[in-house]
Amino acid sequence: MLYKSYPKVNLYLHIVGKTPDNYHLLRSRFVRVVGDLYDEIAITHTPNATKDRVLGNFPCEIEHSSVYLALQALRKVDGVCFPPVRIEVQKHIPSGAGLGGGSSNAGVVLAALIARYGAEFKGKAKQMHTYFASPKPPKSPLPTALSDLAKSIGADVAFFVSQVDCAEVSGIGEHIEPCDSRLNDIARFSIYTPKIACNTAQVYRHYATTSTPNPNTKDLSTLSNAAILASGDIASLNDLFLPACAIHKELESVAKELGEGWFFSGSGSSFFRIDSSASTPSPLESTFKPCEQKVDSSNAPEHCRATSVKSPIDRAKQAKRCERELAGFFRKPMPQGAL
């Protein structure tokens, strides 16, 4: 089976406290950006194999990748048993960009494997399959077993495994509250990623040395996506923007060159804006070299994730074309080794 693993953007991100073990607590609006930028994942069920195999052009050793960690974590859950699988990943979402590429990969893999094999899980593990049993996952909290599993892999994995398009996220990222569709009122985003990779842990550490969490920050959870972005600027909507700029001085120059209307996602380094046009933004004249991952992205409904198309016939043609393209891609040698 072939899957597309999409990025997210944070419309706002406020740090509101700390856990006893020193993790920062946040409130944020996550939006899954469904468009031209995505990682490609092929999962092959190999019942005659003796072990799992993971391949991909990861920015790290494969055994440290979120896909490998997700697969191993799922197998360790009591009551989980399924045949060996082969997972191939072609990454296009830049790392260190605040777009959640690794977490998205982990969420897609978990959702795919649980949906495929979860009916055979035993005990509490079977509760995870219930979430994916309907054609569209319910707008309800993740089962505890699934939430705990996602949290053990990474802070943003719960959002991606939930398969919702827009949600209020809190805690360290494990509490997901899907937003009413009326709040998800932005049709398109433009994403701009400079050639700067931000280390999330480093950005949070710098925040901890220069700022204090504010539990009384303005509640934005009832606002629509457009209203959130209209309510503040790049720094007031993202508590990690200034710490990221302090570490990577170039980010401040990037923000100035981009101008008003651009916002900062996660711990960076990506910027995004509302885009009502159907074309990509024109290249910026600047002293820095932009990353090639500068794209237009549509936040389309689940049933037409490939592109924003108008008719069932168009969707069917697009789906077949995507399958052919992905199938052709995955016949190519992967650029890194495998486990």
| Positions at the binding site | 94-104
Residue 9: which of 179, 305, 263, 295 has the closest Cα? 263
| CA distance linking residue 56 with residue 64, whole number of Å | 12
The sign of the CA dihedral 70, 73, 79, 84 is positive
- Is 156 a catalytic site residue? yes
Residue 133: which of 146, 123, 119, 148 has the closest Cα? 119
pLDDT the model gives residue 139: 63
pLDDT the model gives residue 109: 99
Beta-bridge partners for 88: 42, 55
Average pLDDT over residues 39-64: 96
pTM: 0.82
Work out the pLDDT band at 313, boundaries 50, 70, 90: very low
**What's the pLDDT tens digit per position in 184-202?**
999 999 999 999 999 999 9
Between the alpha carbon of residue 147 and those of residues 172, 174, 229, 237, 321, the distances in Å are 12, 7, 29, 27, 35
Written in H, E and C, the secondary structure of the chain is CEEEECCEEEEEEEEEEECCCCCEEEEEEEEECCCCCCEEEEEEECCCCCCCEEEECCCCCHHHCHHHHHHHHHHCCCCCCCCCEEEEEECCCCCCCCCCHHHHHHHHHHHHHHHHHHHHCCHHHHHHHHHHCCCCCCCCCCCHHHHHHHHHHCCCHHHHHHCCCEEEEEECCCEEEECCHHHCCCCEEEEECECCCCCHHHHHHHHHHHCCCCCCCCCCCCCCHHHHHHCCCHHHHECCHHHHHHHCCHHHHHHHHHCCCCEECCCCCCEEEECCCCCCCCCCCCCCCECCCCEEEECCCHHHCCCCCCCHHHHHHHHHHHHHHHHHHCCCCCCCCEC
Residue 56: Cβ within 10 Å count: 25
**What's the pLDDT tens digit per position in 147-172?**
999 999 999 999 999 999 999 999 99
| CA distance linking residue 125 with residue 292, whole number of Å | 41
Work out the pLDDT band at 78, boundaries 50, 70, 90: very high
More confident residue, 37 or 287: 37
| CA distance linking residue 103 with residue 67, whole number of Å | 9
Among 8, 239, 275, 296, the one annotated catalytic: 8
| CA distance linking residue 169 with residue 154, whole number of Å | 14
| Positions at the binding site for ATP | 94-104
Beta-bridge partners for 169: 28, 176
List the domains of the chain with CATH numbers: 2-182 (3.30.230.10), 188-298 (3.30.70)
Written in H, E and C, the secondary structure of 256-317 is HHHCCCCEECCCCCCEEEECCCCCCCCCCCCCCCECCCCEEEECCCHHHCCCCCCCHHHHHH
Among 51, 78, 122, 156, the one annotated catalytic: 156
pLDDT the model gives residue 22: 87
Determine whether 312 is exposed, middle or buried from the number of CB atoms within 10 Å of its CB (0-12, 13-18, 19+).
Answer: exposed
Q: Which two tokens stand for residue 38?
A: 């995505």
Q: Are 174 and 151 in contact (CB under 8 A)?
A: yes
pLDDT the model gives residue 331: 39
Sheet holding 8-18, edge to edge: 8-18, 24-32, 166-171, 175-178
Work out the pLDDT band at 276, boundaries 50, 70, 90: confident
Work out the pLDDT band at 284, boundaries 50, 70, 90: very low
